[in-house]
Chains A and B, each alone.
Chain A
Amino acid sequence: MTDGQTQATHGDAHVEGQQHPLGVYFKIWIWLFVLSAGSYAVDYFHVEGYLRWTLILIFMMAKAGLIVAVFMHMVWERLALIYAILAPPVFVLVFVALMTSEAGYTFLTRTIFFSGAS
């Protein structure tokens, strides 16, 4: 942490803030409403099967992307911060793969040993 000097002059820290036109936020706000309405419509109109799951994931990722990118100002940050924050969660997918196989195995043993037992 060698940035003590930089922080001491807190005068320039004020200039570092994210400042963007309000219109951007309103646009994203409306989009979030539309996407939420979309994902609710998936349930309301009983869309089933792969189409349901695909739509849910698309709406979810779109909403998450807009929130992180604009509301949390990620598009305006430098790559040093973007990579540090957004890269690690990707590895959760490895965990997902592990647990999917583990859950399949548990399900299999349960159907073999517990079927008809209870």
Chain B
Amino acid sequence: MSDTTATGSAHPTAKPGGVEGFVADWASDQRAFKGVPWGKAMMWIFLLSDTFIFSCFLLSYMTVRMSTTVDWPNPSEVFALSFGGDPIPLILIAIMTFILITSSGTMALAVNYGYRKNRKMTAILLVITAIFGATFVGMQAFEWSKLIADGVRPWGNPMGAPQFGATFFMITGFHGFHVSVGVLFLLIVARKVLKGEYDRGDKGFFTSRPGNYEHVEAMGLYWHFVDLVWVFIFAFFYLW
């Protein structure tokens, strides 16, 4: 943790690192998360609560899949797609995974350029991230319509255990909603960056505090979290 002092704060006195630093920070009767802007700390705490929501979804999926006496549909076949020839297993899901990872990369770069005060690059990268996100949602809509056409419903499906549809629509729907909201906010943040609101410190609509490029990092945390959740959904729902 020795990097923290080098990259992190502007405080002149060096703070203890490691476990000693952990105890000192929490016992100091002042701000616990040193060097962390309040917006970022709040975003992390929101993401923590969101982690529990998705954990509960995946847990209920695990429970119904373990307890059903009917065979679970094979996701490798259900989500297979053929481009003229033999169906390729999970191909659409794989492409969606790569798209989301790509968008995570562009988001990371956007945060980086934001702190360099490079307005143009930040805005461009944010918009690219939003486009990838919208593509992801579009492909998910395609996947949903394909499954609905195949007769998958929240209460049953022709392939096997009826719980398959319920968990599929619930989990991917909630994730897709997160991505959609993310796309919306990416565009809002991109607009604010482009207009130079973070350079001037204009007030945001959620807060009376002056805005700055830390907002881009908080936005980035949210976006990476959406990618993170997909990693778990991909592993547990599609691959398992």
A72 to B32, CA, bound (A): 19
- Residues of A with C-beta under 8 A to B239: 39, 42-43, 52, 56
Given contacts A16-B8, A32-B104, 14 further A-B contacts (CB under 8 A): A12-B10, A16-B35, A16-B37, A25-B105, A40-B94, A44-B89, A60-B231, A60-B232, A80-B21, A84-B33, A95-B59, A103-B67, A107-B67, A110-B68
Q: Contact between A99 and B210 (Cβ–Cβ < 8 Å)? A: no
Q: Contact between B214 and A89 (Cβ–Cβ < 8 Å)? A: no
Chain A interface (Cβ < 8 Å from any Cβ of B): 2-3, 6-7, 10, 12-20, 22, 25-26, 28-29, 32-33, 36, 39-40, 42-44, 46, 52-53, 56-57, 59-60, 63-64, 67-68, 70-73, 75-81, 83-85, 88-89, 92, 95-96, 99-100, 102-104, 106-107, 110-111, 114-115
> A104 and B66 in contact (CB under 8 A), knowing A78-B33, A79-B1, A79-B22?
yes
Q: Contact between B51 and A78 (Cβ–Cβ < 8 Å)? A: no
Q: Contact between A17 and B213 (Cβ–Cβ < 8 Å)? A: yes
Majority-rule SS of B interface residues: helix
- Residues of B with C-beta under 8 A to A20: 7, 112
- Residues of A with C-beta under 8 A to B18: 79
| Closest 9 pairs (CB-CB, A-B) | A103-B66, A3-B31, A80-B25, A106-B67, A79-B22, A60-B235, A15-B10, A29-B105, A103-B67
- Residues of B with C-beta under 8 A to A114: 69
A36 to B228, CA, bound (A): 12
> A56 and B30 in contact (CB under 8 A), knowing A67-B224, A103-B66?
no
A57 to B234, CA, bound (A): 11
Q: Contact between B32 and A63 (Cβ–Cβ < 8 Å)? A: no
Identify the closest chain B residue to A68 (Cβ). B228
A2, A3, A10, A67 interface centre (most CB from chain B within 10 Å): A67
Q: Contact between B213 and A89 (Cβ–Cβ < 8 Å)? A: no
A67 to B116, CA, bound (A): 22
Q: Contact between A25 and B33 (Cβ–Cβ < 8 Å)? A: no
Contact of A19 among B112, B221, B227 (CB under 8 A): B112
- Residues of B with C-beta under 8 A to A95: 55, 59
B4 part of interface (Cβ distance < 8 Å): yes
Contact of B240 among A56, A76, A102 (CB under 8 A): A56
- Residues of B with C-beta under 8 A to A89: 48, 51-52, 55
A28 to B114, CA, bound (A): 19
